[in-house]
Each structure stands twice: as C-alpha cells, then as structure tokens.
A = this chain, B = another copy of it.
C-alpha cells in the first residue's frame, strides 16, 4: 500500500508517527506531495484525494482512504499491537474523546490561527481574516492551558496509557512552531509530558 504524505505537515505527521509507534513504517511505500508547490491541487492527485487532502492511503485493491484519523483507524485494525486506539468499548471511547478534544479544540483552532495570520498561507487561505485569526489564537492558547491542567494529574492524555491522543497532541505542539509558539516550553506539565513523548522516539 502507498501513503502520500508531506514532511513537516501536521496531518501527514500524525499518520507517520502513528505507524512508527507501531513499528510498521516499513509496511507502506511513501510518496511525497509538496503542498507549498500546490502538488495536492493537481487533477492527478485529486483522483486519489478528491478534497486535495494530504495524507492519503491507497490500498493494494485500489481503495483510497483520506482523513488522517481514518487512516490511523485502518492501521490500528490491521496492525493490532501495540494498540493505540482502545482495546475495549470504554477505552476506545475515552481515547477518541481526548483525541477529538485535542484535534477539535486545540489543533483545529491553532490551524485556523495559522492559516489566517501567516503570510505564507495567503495563497492557500483566500481571503485571510485577522478577526478569525485572533479568535482562534485565543481559543488555542486557552485549550493549551486546559490540557496542561489535565496533564498535572495524568501521565498520558487518555485512558491511563499511551495512545493516538498523545500522538495528536505531540503533532500539534510541533505544528505550533510555525507561529513561533512552543506551548510545551511555557507550560510545565505539558513540558514534562512532551519530554517523555520525545523519548519514545515515534517522531523520528
């Protein structure tokens, strides 16, 4: 199977880190799509990913899967160990709950801030909105504090063990560099958690 990705872009990183945490990065052929060169907007790539999203996974039977978390779901089912998305109904729900909180309230807010504020995003986000950027920045900074509070009492984000929710948060912390922000250097619990995650090696 073939995984279309873009180095340093957060959604592809989420899948790459997930695969590396499973020890299965070698199971896919990697093909790079250069977003800043708009390679994801070509007709050829849209035939694989109709909404021009990266990453995309093409199975050997030709099935095309986009959406980073859906691709992780596929891998968690075909490569069950180590389990990263929950081993029973309750774990699956708790891990998805925290993964969604991180993605919807932190990652997506940060992405909205970045896309609407950074000069390099002007060709991709038309028109950029300073109002949207300001609201999203505030929400992202507020959620970083909430996550730091959660990590004061928890070694991991969800269900008392390492999971996709940790990977999604780690990717988001790294992504924040594009606005010269490092929330894990400002917030002590997030910093302690971030060091432990780096030591796991899934980020390469």
Residues of chain A touching chain B, judged by Cβ–Cβ distance below 8 Å, are 50-51, 59, 63, 65-67, 69-71, 73-74, 77-78, 88-90, 92-94, 96-97, 100-101, 104-105, 108, 127, 129-132, 135, 146
Q: Which residue of B lies closest to A100 (CB)?
A: B67
Q: Is B131 a contact partner of A69 (Cβ separation < 8 A)?
A: no
| Complex CA distance for A146 and B52, rounded to whole angstroms | 13
In the assembly, how many copies of this chain are there?
Answer: 2
In the bound complex, what is the Cα–Cα distance between A170 and B68 (angstroms)?
23
Residues of the B chain whose Cβ atoms lie less than 8 Å from the Cβ of A69: 96, 100
- Chain B residues with Cβ under 8 A from A104's Cβ? 108
Q: Which residue of B lies closest to A130 (CB)?
A: B131
Contacts of A129 in B (CB 8 A): 129, 131-132, 135
Question: Which residue of B59, B73, B97 is within 8 Å of A92 (Cβ)?
Answer: B73
A97 and B66 form a contact (CB under 8 A): yes
With A65-B97, A67-B96, A69-B96 already in contact, the answer to whether A90 and B135 are too (CB < 8 A) is no
Q: Taking CB as reference atom, which chain B residue is nearest A158?
A: B70
Q: Is the CB of B74 within 8 A of A90?
A: yes
Chain B, Cβ-Cβ closest to A85: B73
Q: Do B93 and A65 have beta carbons less than 8 Å apart?
A: yes
Given contacts A67-B100, A70-B100, A77-B89, 17 further A-B contacts (CB under 8 A): A51-B101, A51-B146, A63-B94, A66-B97, A69-B96, A70-B96, A70-B97, A73-B96, A74-B93, A77-B88, A78-B89, A104-B108, A129-B129, A129-B131, A129-B132, A130-B131, A131-B131
Shortest Cβ gap from A87 to chain B (Å):
11
A89 and B101 form a contact (CB under 8 A)? no
* Interchain CB contact under 8 A, B101 and A77: no
Contact in complex: A67, B97 (CB < 8 Å): yes
Across the A-B interface, give the 6 residue pairs with the lowest CB-CB distance, nearest first.
A77-B89, A74-B93, A70-B96, A70-B97, A129-B131, A67-B100
28 cross-chain CB contacts under 8 A: A50-B146, A51-B101, A59-B90, A63-B94, A65-B94, A65-B97, A66-B101, A67-B96, A67-B97, A67-B101, A69-B96, A70-B93, A70-B97, A70-B100, A71-B93, A73-B89, A74-B90, A74-B92, A74-B93, A77-B92, A77-B93, A129-B131, A129-B132, A129-B135, A130-B131, A131-B131, A131-B132, A132-B135
